[in-house]
Each structure stands twice: as C-alpha cells, then as structure tokens.
Structure 1
Amino acid sequence: MRILHIISGLGVGGAETLLYRLAQVSRATHAEHLVVSLSSVGIMGGKLQALGVEVRALGMDNGVPQPLLVRRLIDWIVEFSPDVVQTWMYHADLLGGFAARIARRMRASRTADRFGLLWSIHQSEYPTFRSEPKLGVVAKCCAIGSSRIPDLIICCAETAKANHVRGGYSPARMHVIHNGFDVESFKPRPEAGSSLRRLLGVDENAPIVGIVGRYHEVKDYDNFIAAIARVHGRMPACRFVMIGHELNDDNRALQASLEQAGVRAQCHLLGPRDDVQALVPGFDVFCLSSRSEGFPTVIGEAMACGVPCVATDVGDTAVLIGEVGRVVPPRDSRALAEGLLSVLSLSDEERRNIGALARSRILSVFSIDSTWQKYERVYAAVKEGAWACAELRAS
C-alpha cells in the first residue's frame, strides 16, 4: 500500500503524532509512506525521516495557496502514484483535496487505476468565524466541498463528527477512527515514582497529581487551579506537577493564578518535556481539566502508563476512560476536586488495581496497532471505491 499524506505542518501536535505512530507501526506491513508538509519539515518531520519515511516540504506561507507550489504538489502526487492520498487538518484537507482531485484526473488519462482520497478531522470543535476567523473560512469551504471532494472523512472522535456535521459537513462521508496509543513507550515503570520525587525534591510519600497540556484556554487551567486549591486544603502534603508549553516560571499569568489560589509552593512547573513517558508513570493521579477536547491523547497515554485518571466529560473522554477512572462535569472545580480526592484517598494497592485495569483497556481497545488495522481496512476500501460498504461502516 502506497500512501501519500498531505499535512498542514509537522510541529508537535495530536494529528502529527498520530501520523508518526501510524508510519512507525505500519513498517511491519511494508506500507510505503510519502509525507508532504504544506509548510516546513518541523520536529515531527525529522522523526518521520528517522524512521526512513520520505518527507517533503512545500514551504507555503501560513497555508496561503501559491499556484506554483500547488502545481508542484500535483506533480508529486502523480509522480508517487499512490493507492491512497490522506490529508490532515483543514488547510491540507482543502488544498490537498483540490490538488489530489486534479492529480486523479491526470492519472485517469494514463491508467485505469484510481487512488482513494481521505480527509482527516482532528479537533472536536468546529471552528467558527467568531472564534477563529481565518480557520473558520477554511472549515466552511471544507464543509461545502465535503460531499464532493473526499471519498471519506476520518474523524478522531464521535464528538468531532457530530460537531462538524452540525457545521455543514456531509454526514454520509464521515467515519470515526479513534487515535491509538504507543503502549511500548507509555507503560508502567516501577521506579518512576521515586525518580519523579527525587527530581522534584519532595518527600518519597508525597501524593502527586499531574497534568499535561499546553497553556491554552480550552485546557481550562483556571478550573485545574481552583480544584487543586481545594485538594490542598484537604491534603496539604499533595504536590501538583504541570507539564506543557508555557507551563513554566516565565508565565506570569499562570504564576499569578497559582499565587492567588495559595498553591504556588505546591506546584512544580516543568514546561515542555521530551521525557513525558518517563514522568507520567510517577503520578498517583492524572488530571484533565479541559472545557473542550476531541479524543485526548494525554488521557490514553496516562492510562497506558497504569495511572488512574480524573477528567472532565468533554469530547470522547468518557468513551476512552470507560469504567476505569473518574469523569466529572467540565468547568466545575468542586466536582473535579472531589474526583481527585476520591482517587487520592484510595490505598496504593487500590490505585494500582485501577491503573492496571486502565492499561488493560488501552491494550485491548485503543492500541496503535488496532488503530492501524482500522486505517488499513479503510485505505483498502476507499482505493476500491467501496468506502460506503456495510463492513467498513461497522469496523
């Protein structure tokens, strides 16, 4: 199977990480990938190249279409002769979809073979003109073309599908494949708790609540801070670890919020890290405080590490956690605090049992291997023009 991916960029993000993991796990099936970034190679592009995947960059300026570069993209598609073209995120869906349709017509004039064309949606909320004007325009154009340009549209979550259908996307084209998780990198590590506490310089028995995610309003750190202030009032020995972009001492707004809540001394701001898989297994509880998500990767990774999770009921979080964690209403710091306290008050053995069940759920339902198998079935069906078949819809 020859798969050509077109993606808006190759920085670090959920869609980019999934693309990398699919390329990684598919090596055993001898799938051949070519990845085209509309912008630059980026961090994830370098990681893909390290896998042996060819990565090309068009160098577009903020996704603005440039005729010569669009023509180059069309030529690359024709030259690669793919079985499937998959585009990732709105700009790539629109521009890559347009280029792929032209390339498909050019190829049809030379051979009877066709290639399938898939779009991908990797965020829960449909962008509106009010919230994100530029992205809202692109998404609206995608919605208008959704019934004519792609053969199929892959959504990362049922919530993403429902919200985009409400935004005007064709429901007949939508198909959900949940993201899979790297259970070899993210796994329980018996020594992680002690290692993390040494890194933080805290007592060996100090309970630790961790959160991972960039500093952004959708992650609702105000909710998290209000919740941990309540936890601190009941469990003064508890410590709170925050990992992600702008979760560091340079963030004055975050510092002020922590000071005002009276928990600055109990919080450890580690910023972005490249060793998250070694740190998360050291948490006693993993927290997600978001007001909006699609299919939160961080929850699946924490579960794969055997860490009990307490999360807000956004996107497909409840689908992911199932019965092996706590799900609370969003924007309710009291409920979030009670959820955290309910897990922290368990014995070590009880938390380990919940963590073991969480990892088992990821292994059986949400591993990256199972996700790749679903993508393989979709690729084969779309290539043959059978994307609407009942078997595919049931997969």
Structure 2
Amino acid sequence: MNKEKSQALTAVYITTSLGMGGAEEILAKLANGLTELGDRIVIFSLSGDGYHGERLRRRGIEVYSVGAERTNFSSAFIWVVELIRLFFAIKRLRPGLIHSWMYPADIVGGVIGVMLRVPVIWGVFSGSTDRRFYSRRTHNFIKVCARLSHYLPALIISCSSYGRDTHISVGYRESRFLYIPTGFTRSLKENISKLDSKRTTLSVTADTMLVVGMLGRYTVEKDHVALVRAAGSINQTSERVYLVFAGGEGITNHNDEFVKEIEHAGMISSTTLLGQIADKDAFFQAIDVFALISHSEGFPTVIGEAMSHGLPCIVSDAGDAEILVGDQSQIIKMESGSITEKIAERILEFSNNQQLRKEIGLRNRQRIEALFSEKLMIRRYRKAYMHVVKKK
C-alpha cells in the first residue's frame, strides 16, 4: 500500500456520460478504487452529473460538468467555448494521463492530450460496431475514432475481447489495444427484509412462482420480447413464471409497443416494469433467475453483477457473455433454432429444480470472486496507467 501511495498520480477522466450504463459503472468503480489507493482523480462529464456525479463527489472525487446546463451538442459555438475552458482546466491540473470514456470523449480527450503532450488512453466499452445498433451520429464517431486511433491514444483499453476484435475490424489500431475485463464486488450481507418487501410489492409468492428478471434498456439490440413470449408459452398451462424488467429507456407502462407484446403473450398480470432503478442490489435479491437476451453486447456488466449475487442465469451468446459465465448450460445460442423455445426450456429447468438453481448460483458467485473481482480490475488498470506514464 505504501508503495502505491508513493507513486500516486493525477488522472483526468473525460466521459461522454455519467448515467447508469455499464461503461459509467466501470468508471465509478475505478475512480473510487484509485482514490482509495491515494491517486487524485478528476472527472469531466460532457453531459452533466447523471446518476454517478454527486455520488462520486460524496466519495471525495472531483467531478465537473462541461457545458451541460447551458447547451447540448447542437450548439457548436458554445461547445467550442466550453472545450477551450476544458483545455485550460486540464492544463492547470498537470495530469499524468488523460483517460477518455466513450467515442465523443475519445476525440475530445485525444486532441487535448496531444496539445498538452499528456498521454491519452481511450476506453472501448461497446461490443458490435454494426450500424444497426447505433444512431448515425454515433456510428460516424466510431469511424472517426478508428482513423484517429492510429495517432492520438497511447493505449486503448477494452473491457470486452469481442469489442476489441470488432473495433479492430473497422480500422482501430490493433497494437494499441489492451483487454481488461470488468470487475465486480458485492455486499456479503443478504438483505432478506428487502427481498421479502420487494416480492410483496410484486405480488409474487416465492413458493409458487419463479421470478425471472432482466435489467436493460428497451433497444433494438436487446430482445425483451423473446423472454416475454417464452414465459407466456409456459404460463398458458400453469401460472409458474413472473417477469420483472428494469432499466432505463422503454421499461415502463408508457411503452405501448412493449406493453402490447406483454398483453399478446398473456403475461400482463405476471409482469412488472420497474423502469429506472437506483438500487440494483434490491432487484437482484428479488429474483430467482437473471436473464439477458441480447443480439449485441460488449462485456455485459449486468451478467457479472447477477452472478456476484449468486443467481443462475439465462443469457444469449452476445459479446463476452460466454467468457463471463463459462457454462454452456446458461447460454442461449442466438443463431440456431427457436430462441423462444430455448429460453422456455431453460426457465422450466430452473423452475422444476430449486437445488439446481442454488448450485449454479453458487458456482457463478465463486467464478466472479476468482476471475473477475473489482480489486483485480483496479490493479490491472493502475498497472497499465503506470506503464503509460513511465513511457512518456
């Protein structure tokens, strides 16, 4: 520990967002962990405080918003002014390195780093680079970053081996990449009262229904509907499955498209849409099985979080899901056969065998602790940082 503190560094993070996404969660974990080691962490967000901003400040981390209250990306002049202010703010800090988070921030951080002669690290958190899964603007950012990756960053850290490969395939410089998987931690104390309260709120009886939860926004790459249809096919004969969906955009009763799918599957009385949630621990404690059905992922953080809570999983083979789970019995192959039928089969297996759920859940927790701990992730990042700083 003393050795770590004697080599303390000042690291500046420039992030596109501080919302509730997986990339932002990694940033929060890393900032907290490095601060505990004695490093000075300063975060500049291009889109306001989001979910993590004030929480990070309470941990003693400096967090600043860049123009978020005054404008948006459409106002070019004001953003030029704000970026000039950002340049001088970082110059005054004299950081050892700049680590940018997500595509727009990669461009901003890369240019500022070159101007200040400060080494820049980019962060890649996406899986697929397929145009179908991005807005036109974001996909254009990817193409620009691919070209600039040959000149601006000293290192590109990807949390996903799949994401590393897909970005290299669209032109990112291969020799710059380093793969560091996400790390996880959890409280060892189970909050049983919170679990009971949540089940009561959902009108679920633990003895009669299997609660399957999915955490993620309603987007084109996620397949919430396949899970709904699978559960609906089971409940046609007996009401055995209860679904709980949580996440950001689209996971509310105001999403007419999703609600119609739930009604059509006959699951309207056996489904709860929680929307955005602040307490993910309570969510994981309230379910029996975690599901993530997706056509595209990088390193699916929510799977690791579910595993760290001792939950069995039903997840698609997108991104690094198979690396995380390491168990084919929990994987759904998306490219072969009926996805809905496969999901239903896995749900029935878990529904009929409580002991199986416990055994797989325990193995999942042990796997996370052994291979994907948060402490190990922080050590890997810091080792990479010190290597880049020493090469400067």
TM-score normalised by length of structure 1: 0.89
Distance, in Å, in 1 between the alignment partners of 2:238 and 2:323 is 30
State yes or no: 1:160 paired with 2:160.
no
Q: Deviation per CA, 1:325-367: give whole Å up to 9, x if none.
A: 51011271111221222222213x3322211111111111112
Instruction: Quote how far apart the aligned CAs of 1:269 are.
Output: 1.7
Percent of aligned pairs sharing the same letter: 30
Determine the structure 1 residue equivalent to 2:137: 134
In structure 2, do the counterparts of structure 1 residues 234 and 139 end up closer, same or farther at CA, with 3 Å as the change threshold? same
Determine the structure 2 residue equivalent to 1:98: 111
Which 5+ residue runs of structure 1 have no aligned equivalent?
105-114, 387-395
State yes or no: 1:283 paired with 2:287.
yes
Q: Deviation per CA, 1:34-66: give whole Å up to 9, x if none.
A: 001123222311111111111112216227663
SS in 1 for 2:131: coil
SS in 2 for 1:259: helix
**Are the equivalent residues in 2 in contact too, given 1:324–1:358 (CA < 8 A)?**
no
Letter in 1 for 2:49: V
Moved more, 129-138 or 233-242: 129-138
RMSD of the alignment, in Å? 2.1
Letter in 2 for 1:311: V
State yes or no: 1:377 paired with 2:383.
yes
1:1-395 residue pairs with structure 2 within 5 A?
A: 1-59=9-67, 61-62=72-73, 66-104=79-117, 115-126=118-129, 128=131, 131-184=134-187, 188-191=190-193, 193-205=195-207, 206-233=209-236, 235-245=238-248, 246-323=250-327, 326-330=330-334, 332-347=339-354, 349-385=355-391
Letter in 1 for 2:311: V
**Are the equivalent residues in 2 in contact too, given 1:313–1:329 (CA < 8 A)?**
yes
Determine the structure 2 residue equivalent to 1:112: none
Q: Deviation per CA, 1:22-42: give whole Å up to 9, x if none.
A: 112223311110001123222
Letter in 2 for 1:82: P
SS in 2 for 1:271: coil
Moved more, 245-254 or 80-89: 245-254
In structure 2, do the counterparts of structure 1 residues 162 and 223 end up closer, same or farther at CA, with 3 Å as the change threshold? same
Letter in 1 for 2:60: G
SS in 2 for 1:42: coil
Letter in 2 for 1:179: T
- Size of the aligned set, in residue pairs, is 374
Distance, in Å, in 2 between the alignment partners of 1:362 and 1:344 is 24
**Are the equivalent residues in 2 in contact too, given 1:156–1:295 (CA < 8 A)?**
yes
**Are the equivalent residues in 1 in contact too, given 2:113–2:119 (CA < 8 A)?**
no
In structure 2, do the counterparts of structure 1 residues 209 and 252 end up closer, same or farther at CA, with 3 Å as the change threshold? same
Instruction: Quote how far apart the aligned CAs of 1:259 are.
Output: 0.8
Distance, in Å, in 2 between the alignment partners of 1:176 and 1:64 is 36
Distance, in Å, in 1 between the alignment partners of 2:205 and 2:191 is 19
Which 5+ residue runs of structure 2 have no aligned equivalent?
1-8
Distance, in Å, in 2 between the alignment partners of 1:310 and 1:131 is 25
Distance, in Å, in 1 between the alignment partners of 2:183 and 2:38 is 19
